Amino acid sequence: DAGVIQSPRHEVTEMGQEVTLRCKPISGHNSLFWYRQTMMRGLELLIYFNNNVPIDDSGMPEDRFSAKMPNASFSTLKIQPSEPRDSAVYFCASAEGGSYNEQFFGPGTRLTVL
Amino acid sequence: GEDVEQSLFLSVREGDSSVINCTYTDSSSTYLYWYKQEPGAGLQLLTYIFSNMDMKQDQRLTVLLNKKDKHLSLRIADTQTGDSAIYFCAERDNYGQNFVFGPGTRLSVLP
């Protein structure tokens, strides 16, 4: 398996633009997580899905952020409009059901908002 | 809410042992994890321990769990320059899929 796939790997955009980050989880995994990592705040869980249903979105910073999981093999995280403070590395992770539930992380998308 | 704390930085000399510490607050934590993040990469699971264990050893890695004090440590024997990375402690309870990660400890290995 190729692991968790994220695209793009790098994104540079201007303030006010819409940004869409994409994630393909590992086939067969039924949980998907979006994280944001910054130097100031560390690793923050934004939202997670179980069987394509959002379970906890309390980490989503504000209404400018939205996430969808239309099917088991694809998820998006959208920021509209983007702001410079959204600059971070965004990670997607997936996990299969089971007892110890290791989360497998993607390589991340480095977002820079100018 | 749940909280996981770690010291942010650790420097050791190559060949020495490294000990990275972590404390957590959720007494219902069932699994505790150590993840490693190398520069420019995502997190990778290093090892995990079930809450009914107090020690787990895997080659150069030793995990110690003191459930009473809610303290977890990761010892890396014979630390190498390739061990330089950020190490995250994480906990998960038995009820949900959610992990709570610590802030990460940046390990620097000096030649």
pLDDT given for residue A99 in this prediction: 43
Of B44, B48, B104, the CB nearest to A43: B104
Q: Which residues of A touch B97 (CB under 8 A)?
A: 31, 48, 50, 55, 95, 101
pLDDT given for residue B92 in this prediction: 81
Of B28 and A26, more confident: A26
Contact A42 B45 (CB under 8 A): no
Of A31, A43, A100, the CB nearest to B101: A43
Nearest CA in chain B to A102: B45
pLDDT in tens, A39-89: 888 888 899 898 999 988 888 988 999 999 999 999 999 999 999 999 999
Give the whole-angstrom CA distance, residue B107 versus residue B9.
6
pLDDT in tens, B17-52: 999 999 998 777 778 999 999 988 899 999 999 888
Size of interface A-B (CB pairs under 8 A): 50
Contact A10, A113 (CB under 8 A): no
Residue B64 has pLDDT above 90, yes or no: yes
Gap from B41 CA to chain A (nearest CA, Å): 5
pLDDT given for residue B26 in this prediction: 79
Contact A43 B88 (CB under 8 A): yes
Q: Identify the CA nearest to A103 among candidates A2, A3, A1.
A: A3
Question: What's the Rg (C-alpha) of chain A?
Answer: 13
Tokens at residue B94, please? 């038995």
Triad A24, A43, A50: Cα angle to 5°: 40
Contact A105 B42 (CB under 8 A): yes
Mutant choice from B99, B100, B105 vs A, greatest count of A C-beta within 10 A: B99
Contacts with B, A 3-32, CB within 8 Å = 4, 31
